[in-house]
Amino acid sequence: MAEPVSVDDHLGRILDHVRPLPSYAHSILDAIGRPTASKVVARRALPAFDNSSMDGYAVRADDVAAASAGTPVTLPVVADIHAGDGAARMLKPGTAMRIMTGAPVPSGADAVVPVEATDAGAVKVQITAPARVGAFIRRAGEDVQPGETVLPAGTVLGPRHVGLLAGLGIDRIDIVPRPRVVVMSTGAELVEPGRQLGPGAIHDSNSFLLTAAARATGAIAYRVPVDDDDPQRFLDALDGQLGRADLVVTTGGVSKGTRDVVKEALRTKPDMWFGEVAMQPGKPQGFGLIGEDRIPLFALPGNPVSSYVSFEVFVAPALRRLVGRTPELRPLFRAELGEDVRSLPGKRQFLRGDVTLGPGGAKVVPVGGPGSHLLGGLGAANALIVLDESVASVEAGTSVPVMLLDRDY
């Protein structure tokens, strides 16, 4: 029996075999929630031209330097400039132009006096306060410079990004469409929820759990329950799915029993690996590339918690690579441990935890115990407490790394 591989080595090998899917141009509103396939570089400046940030009067600061409420400066108003007015204008010394918010500042003007500091005159204007050079002028390029990278590749587009792109005049952007994930459960004991259980039978939770987990990453996920332990039936079902899959996840049938259907069915395929990963839960794992299109297939263990942890640790980063999302690895945060915990040296341990945020920062308490069949504990958890291979026990009060599960960081 080969030595177990480490979590990092297994993940590294997986990522070595997963290539990003092709990207296509989409309208920016259709791209919301998807990562950018390449970086976005501004082709123009924001603002595109010097413009007024107030309704007021464009002037030369020098001309109004002596203005005060007691000794107003009076200037002739030689033009009205509205937002969208594209006429080239030149302000002569000793004059003012009435200007609206967003309107281009005429050349020769170096300040805007807000209407509040004037008598709002239309033919001539009395100005009752001085203006410093640059006052109430939004300078061209002060926000974004041409050539600047405004979004790195892999940025998940949200409303603010879409607003920025639109402001830059960009209406379409390259993204990878939602990947299609096929989730297959296996096991003669499985019965669909909503149906009557016979003796020894259980409801299929994993196909729902993993389909939901895949959808939570933005994938389109198809649930394919195979309530059987016959390798040929499994292979037939798999064959029928490959045409609509960018990635396949199976659950169950990969341990050391006598009816390990997935392992039996796929063991002899080229480019499939089955073995043990030094982690708890999730020890038995399979991974490979399947079919003509060499689609990544993850053969996850059958215990519900093991399958879910394996999904978060291995499948989620692969899905990120498929769509070009960064960072590929879910970031770990830190929280203060609420009680003592034990771990298995030599294995990376993923305990279910409940993280709460309080005035003293993030705290985490283990929930549900370490058993990998404990669906109730999984339902109560919102995080995985990650204990490294070197750790045997951790005392309450220690800061520990946690992977937050309810938010797709």
Residues that bind Mg ion (CB under 5 A): 187, 252-253, 302
Beta strands at 295-300 and 247-251: parallel, antiparallel or unpaired: parallel
Binding mask 291-310 for ligand AMP (x = CB under 6 A): ----------xxxx------
DSSP 160: H
62, 189, 228, 388: which one binds ligand AMP (CB under 6 A): 189
Distance CA 170, CA 179 (A): 25
Pick one of Mg ion, ligand AMP, none as the site partner of residue 205 (Cβ within 5 to 8 A by kind). ligand AMP
As beta bridge partners, residue 137 has 52
- Under the criterion CB under 6 A, does residue 207 sit at the interface with ligand AMP? yes
Q: How many helices (H) and strands (E) does the chain have?
A: 8, 27
Pick one of ligand AMP, Mg ion, none as the site partner of residue 185 (Cβ within 5 to 8 A by kind). ligand AMP
- Under the criterion CB under 6 A, does residue 226 sit at the interface with ligand AMP? no
Of residues 107 through 136, those in contact with ligand AMP by CB under 6 A are none
Of residues 137 through 176, those in contact with ligand AMP by CB under 6 A are none
Pick one of ligand AMP, Mg ion, none as the site partner of residue 304 (Cβ within 5 to 8 A by kind). ligand AMP
Q: Which of 143, 131, 191 is nearest to 167 (CA)?
A: 143
Burial class (CB in 10 A: 0-12, 13-18, 19+), 402: buried
Considering beta carbons, is residue 31 or 190 the nearer one to ligand AMP? 190
Considering beta carbons, is residue 179 or 253 the nearer one to ligand AMP? 253
Considering beta carbons, is residue 104 or 304 the nearer one to ligand AMP? 304
Beta strands at 149-151 and 40-41: parallel, antiparallel or unpaired: antiparallel
21-29, 66-74, 199-207, 359-367 -> range binding ligand AMP (CB under 6 A): 199-207
Distance CA 248, CA 286 (A): 12
Considering beta carbons, is residue 91 or 224 the nearer one to ligand AMP? 224
Considering beta carbons, is residue 158 or 193 the nearer one to ligand AMP? 193
Vertex 320: Cα angle to 319 and 321 (nearest 5)? 90
3-class DSSP string for 251-276: ECCCCCCCCCHHHHHHCCCCCEEEEE
Considering beta carbons, is residue 14 or 226 the nearer one to ligand AMP? 226
Point out the residue whose Cβ comes nearest to ligand AMP.
302
204, 246, 264, 354: which one binds ligand AMP (CB under 6 A): 204
Burial class (CB in 10 A: 0-12, 13-18, 19+), 126: middle
Interhelix angle 7-17/316-323, rounded to 10 degrees, is 30
Of residues 228 through 267, those in contact with ligand AMP by CB under 6 A are 251-255, 257
Distance CA 85, CA 52 (A): 12
Considering beta carbons, is residue 120 or 188 the nearer one to ligand AMP? 188
**Number of chain residues interacting with ligand AMP (CB under 6 A):** 19
Interacting residue ranges for ligand AMP, rule: CB under 6 A: 185, 187, 189-190, 202, 204-207, 251-255, 257, 301-304
